[in-house]
Amino acid sequence: MTPPGTARTPRGGEPLLRLSGVSRSYGERQALHPLDLELFPGTCTALFGHNGSGKSTLLRLACGRDRPTTGTALFDGRPVDEDDPQVRARVAVTGDTVAFYPDLTVREHLELITVAHGVAAADGWIGQVLADRRLTDHADQPPSALSSGQTQALQLAAALVRPRDLLVLDEPEQRLDPSARTRLAELLRGEKADGVAVLLATHQAELVHAVADHVVVLEDGKVLLRGGPEVLHELDGGR
């Protein structure tokens, strides 16, 4: 479900994202030990692990918000940097870090994003994204009037109204009710079908089983397990 007029860059079997030996230290603390990861268009990789295991650290490296202490992070063959116009145009990121303007409505936020990304005929498209995320009734309210689950839905909507080849999501299931979680899984399957590469961090095994092709389980910044979603069965109690 990509915005009208979006032309996905054709690719020849190369990973869209390639992390080679990336690690991240904060002073003495090694938050992430060297790790390799490749992400292909139309596939989803899920990062799974306890609080503090390094998931968000890895996501920040993957979307160019942070630089690895060692190793390289390449998006479409170029070092990934959120200030690179190519990356800004093609990588959509959601998480708690999206800031909202207190004096703009929900709809105006989405309009601003579509204008910034040059989405044509955006009105109908915004209406559809608002409806899909159950935000239509709140479209003319400021974000401060939203519940926490609705705020999470707006974070997601902000990524969906714009073009993207890579979608990076940090715990998108947080604060969503069961039906919204089901719609989230459907949405992410649709993203894959559209050829978008999806990288997400999650605490929800159900979401992993519903959408992920590949799972990386992190523990204390190291890869504990990796493989298909079935590797989660190897964790205590399936987590």
Ligand X SMILES: Nc1ncnc2c1ncn2[C@@H]1O[C@H](COP(=O)(O)OP(=O)(O)OP(=O)(O)O)[C@@H](O)[C@H]1O
Nearby residues of 147 by Cβ (< 8 Å), 6 or more positions away:
none
Asked if 52 interacts with ligand X (CB under 6 A), we say yes
The only residue of 45, 57, 150, 204 in contact with ligand X, by rule CB under 6 A: 57
Q: How far is the CB of 125 from ligand X (least distance, A)?
A: 31
Asked if 95 interacts with ligand X (CB under 6 A), we say no
Number of residues that bind ligand X (CB under 6 A): 12
Asked if 204 interacts with ligand X (CB under 6 A), we say no
Asked if 79 interacts with ligand X (CB under 6 A), we say no
Asked if 56 interacts with ligand X (CB under 6 A), we say yes
Of residues 196 and 201, the one with the C-beta less far from ligand X: 201
CA distance from start to end of the chain: 31
Of residues 5 and 52, the one with the C-beta less far from ligand X: 52
Asked if 31 interacts with ligand X (CB under 6 A), we say yes
206 in Cβ contact with 181 (< 8 Å): yes
The only residue of 49, 64, 68, 229 in contact with ligand X, by rule CB under 6 A: 49
The pairing of strands 197-202 and 44-48 is: parallel
Alpha-carbon distance 227 to 216, whole Å? 7
The only residue of 7, 10, 12, 51 in contact with ligand X, by rule CB under 6 A: 51
194 in Cβ contact with 187 (< 8 Å): no
Of residues 114 and 202, the one with the C-beta less far from ligand X: 202
List, in sequence order, every residue forming a beta bridge with 73; answer none if it has no partner. Answer: 19
E strand segments, 27-90 = 29-39, 44-48, 70-75, 78-79
Of residues 173-202, those binding ligand X (CB under 6 A): 201
The only residue of 18, 55, 90, 109 in contact with ligand X, by rule CB under 6 A: 55
53-61, 80-88, 123-131, 142-150 -> range binding ligand X (CB under 6 A): 53-61
Alpha-carbon distance 93 to 83, whole Å? 13
Q: How far is the CB of 199 from ligand X (least distance, A)?
A: 13
- DSSP assigned state of 8: P
- Which of 58, 90, 34 is closest to 171 using CA atoms? 58
Asked if 26 interacts with ligand X (CB under 6 A), we say yes
Asked if 54 interacts with ligand X (CB under 6 A), we say yes
Of residues 57 and 150, the one with the C-beta less far from ligand X: 57
Alpha-carbon distance 45 to 229, whole Å? 10
From the number of C-beta atoms within 10 Å of its C-beta (0-12, 13-18, 19+), residue 177 rates as: exposed
How many residues would you count in the chain?
239
Q: How far is the CB of 52 from ligand X (least distance, A)?
A: 4
Chain positions contacting ligand X, by CB under 6 A: 26, 29, 31, 49, 51-57, 201
